Homo-oligomer: A and B are copies of this chain.
Amino acid sequence: MQVRGKGFYSLTSVSEALKKLLSDIRVLDEEEILLEDATGRVLASDIVAERDNPPFDRAAMDGFAVRGEDTFGASQANPIYFRIIGEVLTGQNFDGEVREYEAVRITTGAPLPRGADAVVMLEHVNELGDEIEVVKAAPPGKNVSLRGEDYKKGETLLKRGRMLNPQEIAILASLGLRRVRVFRRPRVGIISTGDEIKEPGEELKEGQIYDINSFALAALCSTTGAIPKRLGVVKDEYKAMRHAIEAGLDNDVLLISGATSVGKRDVVPEIVRELGKVLVHGIAMRPGEPTGFGYIGDTLVFMLPGYPVASIVAFETFVRPALQAMQGLKPEMPYPAIRARLRRKIPSELGRRDFVRVRVERSEEGYEVEPIRTSGSGIVSSLVRGDGFVIVPENTEGIEKGEVVEVRLFRSLER
C-alpha cells in the first residue's frame, strides 16, 4: 500500500477489502459455559437429541384418559359411560392399564396410562361419583402429545455456528444440558490517539477535545458479543504509540483510532508495518477513507479514522464482520432496514461507497428520508439527530430525489 505525500496512491474497494479481511479470519477456540450464561453466544458443536421429546406419551389437557375408540358416537343426547379406575398426576406414573370403557383422571403433562390413547377434556365430561358421562368423542390421539413428536433421539436440532437466542436456549434446556460448547468471545483492545484528545473528567485546554472513539468503539464491540477493553489515549508519537501497540497485543483484536491517515505525523501504519503486515490501507468509502487493517502476530489490528462518525462507519463495515466471523457467525449488519423515499438528492462519486446519515419521517404514503446536512464526519450530533444511514453504492454518482432507498436504522422510529 504505497502512499503519496498528500493522500493515498490508490484506494481499495470496500468489497475487495472485506474479502481480504474475511479470508484471513480464524474462528476463535471453543469453551464450555453454563446454559444460563449462553444467551447471545454461538454454538461450537452440533446439538443432537439424546432422547425423544416428549420422552413419553402425555396428556395435553386436564381430563380423562380413555381408549379413544370407546368414545365414538358420544354426544349430549347419547352420552357414553366410563368407570373411573384411578388418577395420574403430572410427574407421576399409572401402574395399571386402561381397558374397555375405563377412564383414568389425568392432568396436563402426565404420562398416558398403558392402554389409553386419548384424553377426553373436562368440558366434555359429566362426573357422576365413580363414573363419567362422555358427551363428545375423543378419537385416538386426541389431546395427547406423542412421544417424540417434538423431536426424536438422534435428530440434529441445532448446528454449529447457530446464535443462541432465547428460543435456542429453550431447546437446550429441554435436552437437560447443563453446559454448552460455544466459541470464545473476542477480546478487543481499544486505543485512541491524538495529541488533542483528553480523557473525560479532565480539564480541557484550548485546542483540546474529549476522547469519543474509545467509548463509542467499546460500546459497539459490546453489541457484537466481543469483550472490549479501553487502553487509554496515546500521544501521536512513535515511541509512545509503539509501546502502547505492543502492550495491546495480548488481545485478539486491536482497534486504533486516529493517526492513521498519511500526514507526516501518522505513525500507526508505520508501526504496524514494522511489527507485522498491513493488508489494506486506504479504502474507497466516505466517511472512512483512511481505514486500514493488518496483523501483528495473531492480533488483527484495525487502523480507524479519528473522526468519530468515520470511525463508527469503519467499525460497522469491517470490524463488526470480523468480530462476527471470529465467533463463527456469518457477517451481518444488525440494523433493520426499511424502504423510504428520498426528499433530497444525495450526491456521490463513482467508485466510492458513501454512508449518508439520514433522518426518517413518516408521510402519508410510507416513509420519507432526509439526508442530514453536515460539514463532515466530525459532527457527532448527526449520529443522534439521524435515525440511520443510506449506503450509496460504488456504481453510481448519487441518488436522485424521489427515489426509494433502503435505510438501515440505528434505533426504533418510535420517538
Contacts and interface: CB of A to CB of B under 8 A. Distances in A.
B306 A170 contact: no
B89 A165 contact: no
Nearest to A222: B39
A370 interface: no
Given A91-B195, A157-B384, A200 B178 contact: yes
A410 interface: yes
Interface in A204-230: 204-212, 215-216, 218-220, 222-223, 230
A234 to B, nearest CB: 12
A245 to B, nearest CB: 20
Contacts of A54: 209, 378
B174 A90 contact: no
A39 B200 contact: no
B175 A414 contact: no
A122 B46 CA distance: 56
A207 B111 CA distance: 5
Given A173-B215, A210-B174, A230-B36, A376 B145 contact: yes
Contacts of A218: 36, 39
Given A167-B410, A194-B90, A111 B206 contact: yes
A376 to B, nearest CB: 5
A7 interface: yes
B330 A414 contact: yes
A411 B166 CA distance: 10
A345 to B, nearest CB: 22
Interface string A109-123: 111000000000011
Interface of A: 5-7, 35-36, 38-40, 53-56, 60, 62, 89-93, 107-111, 122-123, 145-146, 149-151, 157-158, 163, 165-178, 194-198, 200-202, 204-212, 215-216, 218-220, 222-223, 230, 236, 261, 263, 265, 306, 308, 312, 330, 332, 336, 375-376, 378-381, 383-384, 410-412, 414
